[in-house]
Amino acid sequence: MSEKPTREPAGITRRNFLTTMGAGAIGATVSEDVLAAPKEVVAPQVMRAGRTAEIRLQVNGHTHVVPAETRWTLLHVLREVIGLTGAKPGCERGECGACTVLIDGIPRYACLTLAVEAQGHEITTLEGLMDGETLGPVQAAFVEADALQCGYCTPGQIMAVDGLLRANPNPSVDDIRRGLSGNLCRCGAYQHIFKAARRAAELKGGK
């Protein structure tokens, strides 16, 4: 005698229940994902490579309004845009000091300074130490002490000495060594450079 199939109660069947629960779980998951989704973030505007914007630089007492990319270094803008070639490209990673300039009277590596960062500050280059065609005191001291050989590092050495004397008009030998420790001379003319720094202090009024 065959058994009659068991009928499930009218209304919600087992299959309907499982289907309904599955759909509900999916809906809940989607809802949580929607709620957890971060709000749309507006990306900051980025200047594309090759596009320039005007920047304003105070160099040697003059205002220069020049086009520059945000990634350009102060060294590049000084040499290639403004035309002041006193600061030299050497290592271009802040090790040799050939590119030293003064920013607000303090020696800084122009190769590690973005041109846009230098806006609003007073920049002094090697050319700014001269009075027309007359050498400044530090420059004259370097000539007098024969403090150069190939001369490539000399602009950076001069700027470092000038910055040192602005902060310390009467430096000791140790002060001079510390003040010039970030400037390398591959020719090894350090003794003459130190003599030039002491002579520059005398010419600028130090003891």
18-56 exposure pattern, b = at least 16 Cβ within 10 A, e = fewer? eeeeeeeeeeeeeeeeeeeeeeeeeeeeeeeeeeeeebe
Residues of the chain with CATH 3.10.20.30: 53-129
> Are 123 and 58 spatial neighbours (Cβ–Cβ below 8 Å)?
yes
pLDDT attached to residue 51: 84
Domain 130-207: give its CATH architecture. Answer: Orthogonal Bundle (1.10)
From-to residues of CATH 1.10.150.120 in the chain: 130-207
The H-assigned helical ranges of the chain are 14-36, 74-76, 137-144, 154-167, 173-179, 190-203
Q: What is the mean pLDDT of each run of 10 residues along the chain (207 residues)?
A: 50 53 50 53 63 95 97 98 98 96 98 98 98 96 97 98 97 97 96 98 83
- What fold does the segment set 53-129 form as a domain? Ubiquitin-like (UB roll) (3.10.20)
**SS3 assignment, position 134:** strand
